[in-house]
Structure 1
Amino acid sequence: MKSGQSIVVKRLQQAQNAHDLEAFLACFTSNFQGEQPAHPEKAVHGVEHVRKNWSTMFDDIPDFHSELLRSAVEGDTAWAEWYWFGTRCDGTRFGMRGATILGIQADQIEWARLYMEPV
């Protein structure tokens, strides 16, 4: 990966694994736009929407862990393959696998397409 793109993906993963919401949010532009093409109703508009979603994730999955399986960069776009897992507060297992395509500007994520599905 190119240095700027690899830095933000690494920061993103480190913040996820530390459950550091503020460091996680610092990876995104304020006007971030996220979409899940397979689930269009789950679109995310703005960093405050990211805050709401991920604070819930960190609260509901206290041992949430993010594993970066592979990544690549082309221009200002980064591709990352992920495995997210943990145990929910109710004791059920959480697991998602898939890929994200991230638009990077000035070492922050400006837009993303998530292709993550439960496993």
Structure 2
Amino acid sequence: MDASGLDLLPAGPVQRMVAAANRHDLEGMVAEFADDYENTTPVHPARSFKGSAQVRKNWATIFAGLPDLSLTVHDATTGPGNKVWMEWSNRGTRPDGSVTSSAGVAILTVRDDRIAAAHFYLEPVDHEPVDVDAAVSMVVHGTDSRGGGS
């Protein structure tokens, strides 16, 4: 397997988009999205958007703020309706020297050799020492087993 996991993706716009992101090639990356691209973020609905112009804005900001950003594909598969399911993560260093990393899944729809839509599930990696019992307690009670609030 290639270090970035590109070989896990089917040939086409999703693979090209990830490769362009890893090169920090904004033009190459945006070219893989349909003009009417629709991003749905179910966990954070207010973050959903339409249009490749917002893709450009988002990634220009990301590339400028995380000059060493790298994406890694951990697993991928295809599904009905021209879907590509991609488990992926990213890592980069902020201007203050702190490291940020996120992980999640993107379910992308391909139309006419472009990424037309995505259901986007990407969250910051949580390095807090909260175990599963505390996490379940937080969901049920709004507090963790140590008595803290949410």
TM-score class normalised by the smaller sequence: over 0.9
The equivalent of 2:101 in structure 1 is 95
Partner of 2:41: 36
Give 1:31 shift.
Answer: 0.4
**What does residue 107 of structure 1 align with?**
113
Q: Deviations over 1:26-61 (max 9, x none)?
A: 110000000110001111210001111110000000
Q: Matches of 1:84 and 1:37 in 2, distance apart? A: 20
Q: Does 2:20 align with 1:24?
A: no
Aligned to 1:68: 73
The yes-or-no answer on 1:81 pairing with 2:98 is no
Whole-Å separation in 2 of the counterparts to 1:115 and 1:107: 22
For 1:52, the equivalent position in structure 2 comes to: 57
Structure 2 equivalent of residue 13 of structure 1:
18
TM-score by length of 2: 0.74
Q: How many residues are treated as equivalent by the alignment?
A: 116
1:32 aligned counterpart, secondary structure: strand
Q: Distance in 2 between matches of 1:104 and 1:55?
A: 23
Secondary structure of 1:54's aligned partner: helix
Sequence identity percentage: 35
Normalising by structure 1, we get a TM-score of 0.93
Higher normalized contact order (CA 8 Å, seq sep 6+, divided by chain length): 1
RMSD value over aligned CA atoms?
A: 1.3
CA distance in 1, matches of 2:65, 2:94: 5
Question: Which structure carries more strand by proportion?
Answer: 1
Q: Take 1:116 and 1:58, find their aligned partners in 2: how far apart are those partners?
A: 17
